[in-house]
Amino acid sequence: MFWIVFIVVYVALSVYTLQVFKQLPNSHYWRIGFLSIAICILIYFFYQFQIINVGRTLTKARSYAIGFLLSYFTFVVVIVSVLFFEDIFRLGYGLYAKIFDNQSSEFIPSRRTFVSYLAMGMAVLPFGALLYGIFKGRYDYRVLSYELEFEDLPNAFDGYQITQISDIHAGSLNGIDKVSYAVDLINDQKSDVIMFTGDLVNNKADEMNPWIDQFSKLKAKDGIYSVLGNHDYGDYVQWPNDDLKIRNFEKLVKTHENLGFKLLRNEHVFLNKGSEKIALIGVENWGRGGFKKAGDLVKASEGLSKLDFRILLSHDPSHWEDVVIDYEEHYHLTLSGHTHGMQFGIEIPGWIKWSPVKWRYKYWAGIYKEKNQFINVNRGFGVLGYPGRVGIWPEISVIKLKKKQIES
């Protein structure tokens, strides 16, 4: 039933859109070209999601099928919207003329060329933006720097710098040169420590194999620490048996080691400078709703003093909102990812920060502060689903810890 409805809607929108090409020179060729593209996109999408049986596994080919379909739908919906309102106007104008001016229905004016060009122009902008996001925007890595002050930060860590990356999604990566550039950009920050907050892959550990040489070049004086995200457990794959799923997970854990990442699984370590230290706590994925809730804050923090300065790595920011903020013990800074900022939105510093993902996640990108606790939600390194980024660019977070001076 879904596919029947989907195809009917797709065909109806495509046929309605054909009207816009009638006003163009050589309209016959425009219509043939448009229909050819529409048919190819539909067949490719149908093939990826109906013919190929890989369950919920989101392959790279499926991502491109989603991206091209989304771009096409955006194009036709904008055109159909403009033409529809113009058709309503034409119909209303014709009825008025027939009733009050005693004119026949033939008085209804023909479609104006201006409206067709207007519809095309309005549709090309978002269509072009989505295609740009697929081929260019996904590689537009941005370094976003923050400076956070804490009254109880140990003196030795004043000026301590953290680089955070998140959501590599190796199964969606393309272009070794682009990834190598991003890795160099991360190293160029010369931070004391690098922290990765989950979703190394889309589905399977093997997705990381082509990228191990690049990401193993990441270096930081105090090491690289990581946690797991919801995609790292292999839950979105139809495994023939449980043993294969277990072996895949074991391989993924081993991949963290091969990359030089210290994986924290509901545990903590201390970062030391002289006689002073801060606690770094890493939990497994904990997500609201149907997402895996393997994160155990109690276990991860066992043995810590209430006086310890704490940095928490937790993939999903809903964990911070639902558990951490009101937890009996204080977590000074939480680093998360997961949302990707939906890879689509508008951000103009000091003016606007918007993405549709805000309707799902209250804390979806950047720095937030609640009850004297901070969280940074990283916008992600890679992509998932739509294979591009528009307005919400791939992020490398650089966070400098500062000792807040108490006025006497």
Residues 364-401 pLDDT 10s: 999 999 999 999 999 999 999 999 999 999 999 999 99
Superfamily of domain covering 139-403? Metallo-dependent phosphatases (3.60.21.10)
Overall average pLDDT of the 26-55 stretch: 89
CA separation for the pair 399, 77 (Å, rounded)? 41
Instruction: State the Cα torsion 63-210-138-320 to the nearest 10°.
Output: 90
Q: Where in the chain is the domain with CATH 3.60.21.10?
A: 139-403
Look at residue 24 in the predicted model and tell me its pLDDT: 80
The β-bridge relationship of strands 224-226 and 346-348 is: unpaired
Overall average pLDDT of the 173-200 stretch: 97
Mean pLDDT of the chain: 92
Confidence band, pLDDT 50/70/90 cuts, at residue 116: confident
Confidence band, pLDDT 50/70/90 cuts, at residue 103: low
CA separation for the pair 395, 378 (Å, rounded)? 7
Closest CA to 41 of 66, 8, 20: 66
Which pTM value belongs to this model?
0.91
Within 114-247, strands assigned E span: 142-150, 161-165, 193-196, 224-226
Answer yes or no: are the C-beta atoms of 341 and 355 closer than 8 Å.
yes
DSSP string, 291-306: S-B---HHHHHTT--T
Which two structure tokens, joined as six digits, stand for 371?
């009850």
Buried b (16+ CB within 10 A) or exposed e, 358-380: beebebbbbbbeeeebbbbbbbb
Overall average pLDDT of the 148-157 stretch: 96
Closest CA to 294 of 230, 374, 339: 230
CA separation for the pair 189, 59 (Å, rounded)? 32
